[in-house]
């Protein structure tokens, strides 16, 4: 046997040949630019160990970190209207929906509703999926928020909503804007039943989401550095023709100006929520009358405009 061919040549080739490195082993922090090993990033709840920047996480991962032992039960959501306006831009709305739904089997739209134990206490959670069309709020999301409220009232649990959304879904037009009052009805159901309603604002919380249920929590928490606002900074600056202050629309800015109650790091979030619910749930009423009254939803609050009663305006006038 030729020792040069069988031994020396493979050694030389191993030295000069480039090893294929998977693309997802390292992730660059968008804030400080440092490269972070993916296992270190995941173990740190996707918070940069160098600068503390909170990167976005999936709804499933958030639920796992929220509930005890990562155990929760998904609440089945009703089927919503699909493409009621037959909307089309560069692509059909139905095509965009199918593409987004193909990325996850856990939910059909931009919201997941689940129930589980948080510090031993039963809690209902509604978490937005920013990876589903930017977490935009359409009829399905409105249905999901109402389903979360009903479930919380029926089981007498606190409700926590975690939005991550760019606002209303443009492909559903006026129907998407109708979800703003529907979401407020869901909030009122929980509050009328005497149950705590807590909101965790994450990056980003903007548009119609921030203009409705997201700012109505009994306690408003936010993750560090989260963008929270209605219109974008560029639009505001061009409208008022003034330079906005540094940190405008960030969670810390809103905390300094009294818009939210706390800015909580992801590592401290579970313990903070446990303390909040221990305080808010003290003396919560369990009466069946309160539950039935809270579940009495007006028929006009429906995702299908054709089902709304014609007498609604006349009844309000009376």
129 and 61 inside one domain: yes
Angle between helices 269-280 and 59-66 (to 10 degrees): 60
98-112, 116-130, 207-221: which has the minimum mean pLDDT?
98-112
d(CA 178, CA 184): 11
Average pLDDT over residues 122-135: 97
Contact 150, 137 (CB under 8 A): no
What backbone torsions phi and psi does residue 244 show, to the nearest 5 degrees?
-80, 150
Average pLDDT over residues 213-226: 97
142 and 51 inside one domain: no
| pLDDT category of residue 2 using cuts at 50, 70 and 90 | low
In a domain, 163, yes or no: yes
Q: Is the pLDDT of residue 300 over 90?
A: no
Q: Which of 55, 79, 97 is the last residue of a domain?
A: 55
38 and 121 inside one domain: no
What Rg do the C-alpha atoms of the chain give, in angstroms? Answer: 24
40 and 113 inside one domain: no
In a domain, 15, yes or no: no
Q: What pLDDT, on a 0 to 100 scale, did the predictor assign at position 129?
A: 96
In a domain, 61, yes or no: yes
pLDDT digits (tens, 9 = 90+) for 60-88: 999 999 999 999 999 999 998 899 999 99
152 and 265 inside one domain: yes
Q: Is the pLDDT of residue 117 over 90?
A: yes
By three-state DSSP, how is residue 7 classified?
helix
278 and 156 inside one domain: yes
126 and 257 inside one domain: yes
* Domain span at 75: 57-300
In a domain, 310, yes or no: no
Q: What pLDDT, on a 0 to 100 scale, did the predictor assign at position 112?
A: 97
Q: Is the pLDDT of residue 105 over 80?
A: no
CATH number at residue 274: 3.90.226.10
In a domain, 8, yes or no: no
Q: What pLDDT, on a 0 to 100 scale, did the predictor assign at position 298?
A: 52
182 and 238 inside one domain: yes
Residue 69 makes CB contacts below 8 A (sequence gap 6+) with none
Q: Which residue did the predictor score with more confidence, 291 or 4?
A: 4
pLDDT digits (tens, 9 = 90+) for 246-295: 999 999 999 999 999 999 999 999 999 999 999 999 755 444 444 455 45
Identify which of 159, 188, 155, 187 has the alpha carbon closest to the alpha carbon of residue 276: 159
In a domain, 133, yes or no: yes
Number of domains in the chain: 2
In a domain, 180, yes or no: yes
């Amino acid at each position: 046997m030729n020792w040069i061919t069988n031994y020396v040549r493979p050694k030389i080739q191993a030295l000069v040949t480039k090893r294929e490195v998977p693309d997802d082993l390292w992730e660059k922090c968008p804030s400080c630019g440092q490269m972070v090993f993916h296992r270190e990033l995941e173990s740190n709840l996707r918070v940069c160990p160098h600068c503390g920047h909170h990167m976005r996480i999936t709804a499933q991962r958030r639920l796992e970190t929220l509930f005890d032992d990562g155990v929760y039960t998904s609440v089945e959501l009703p089927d919503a209207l699909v493409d009621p306006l037959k909307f089309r831009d560069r692509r059909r709305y139905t095509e965009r929906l199918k593409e987004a739904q193909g990325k996850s089997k856990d939910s059909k739209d931009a919201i997941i509703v689940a129930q589980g134990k948080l510090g031993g206490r039963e809690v209902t959670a509604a978490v937005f999926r920013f990876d589903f069309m930017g977490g935009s709020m359409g009829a399905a999301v409105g249905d999901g928020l109402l389903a979360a409220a009903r479930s919380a009232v029926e089981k007498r649990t606190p409700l926590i909503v975690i939005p991550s959304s760019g606002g209303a879904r443009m492909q559903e037009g006026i129907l998407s804007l109708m979800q703003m009052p529907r979401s407020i009805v869901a909030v009122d159901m929980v509050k009328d039943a005497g149950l705590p309603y807590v909101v965790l604002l994450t990056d980003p919380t903007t548009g119609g989401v921030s203009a409705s249920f997201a700012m109505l929590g009994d306690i408003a928490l936010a993750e560090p550095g989260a963008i929270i606002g209605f219109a974008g900074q560029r639009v505001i600056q061009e409208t008022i023709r003034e330079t906005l202050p540094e940190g405008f629309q960030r969670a810390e800015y809103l905390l300094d100006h009294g818009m939210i109650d706390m800015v909580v790091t992801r590592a401290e979030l579970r313990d903070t929520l446990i303390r909040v619910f221990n305080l808010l749930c003290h003396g919560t009423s369990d009466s069946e009358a309160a539950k039935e009254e809270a579940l009495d939803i007006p028929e006009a609050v429906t995702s299908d405009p054709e089902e709304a009663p014609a007498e609604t305006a006349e009844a309000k006038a009376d």
